Structure 1
């Protein structure tokens, strides 16, 4: 058994690891992984390779979707007297993995929780896509079945933010076609192999990208980034009349004009005159 000369304080350490290029492992992350009492891992073979890269060998415990419920209580108990590091196969733990429950239970038990930030494919893809980054919504993986996927896309179709999602190569063409059908032909980017030798970001409309990948599924880890919706078209006179007619069935002329002006972004005085004429005519 290796004796750690400068042991870490007990608790949970959330360690981000490279998404491709091992050079992206931070010195702090390497230090934590070298000194942790145990490392909770998705795949011990992947993490063993990373430990070899930093010249360390530490005990590992598998922690993933299929065993998390059974393993979590034991890991939380160990945090009382040991330093437990949490890693995923690549990137930042808790992003599309069950790690948040481990963090939650560690906090409930009163243990220290420390984060060691680093690579994240979703954020890296945003930097490559050339799309707005002031607001973005991370969707993880969309459902693989057509109906469920369409429903998930419909739920976010009106969100005024750039969308970021993960997808596999074989499903990419169908995913892009579904996004085009549900969101309209927005600008988008397909990024893959981020930080690796063949890193690329292919940009264009969703329709164009769907056609490109329909019969040529790419290899590697893929992140799709989709632009937010454009500005809504201004309300027409017919829209205003329909809204006023409905509002007048339950509100005064002044109240109806105010409600419709706020909802449609139109001039309240003009709407008041229109509503008054409608009321008088009616």
Structure 2
């Protein structure tokens, strides 16, 4: 635990880590509040209060159905964060296992697996996600499956490259000499030494997924209404930009600031873990 705290203190000395951490914390707090409490019900309509500007009663105004924008923003944060976290977790776990196994053991099975990975990487991520969602349907589960399949190949490629360079290191050879099995050596020596790269790509992956989920929701292929999502709120605001600009500003800023926070924090992690970058930040 002390090692983790010391690493956090060292990381937070970087300005981009501090700014990114604050923005990420704000996003996570909004997601937590969206699950626990919102000032108004984010789903129930109130046509008598439609398109009200920001006020003391409605901090960010109301939408075309009279729903409180602030409440929907909080609820949308919980949806976006949950989908992004689940997608990043699945992609990192599955991609890391594929990359570690193909990188460490090699052989014809590994070559076939990497051919499939390269084939998936050849597809534009959003196009492939659209195809998967067409099969699974527009839902939280469908979005998670689509984006996980989209990003697993990128993780597998990064981890495989790291394991390929690690499997010939002296400490791996020493583990073999001690009589440890190849699987034990891979799991306890090669893979843990690739953790730094996995953490960096996992952070970047969270940001990619957040943006992709917003794009899918904007296209009407994300979480189906009346559930709120930041991309869906942006899509709904298109017909009211001139009359009610706050409908687009609130979710647009939420997406932009969240991505900025993730990118800044990811840059700090890269600078900290990459020996070539440590002295440049």
TM-score, reference length from structure 1: 0.22
TM-score, reference length from structure 2: 0.22
More strand by share: 1
Larger radius of gyration: 1
| More RCO (CA 8 Å, sep 6+) | 2
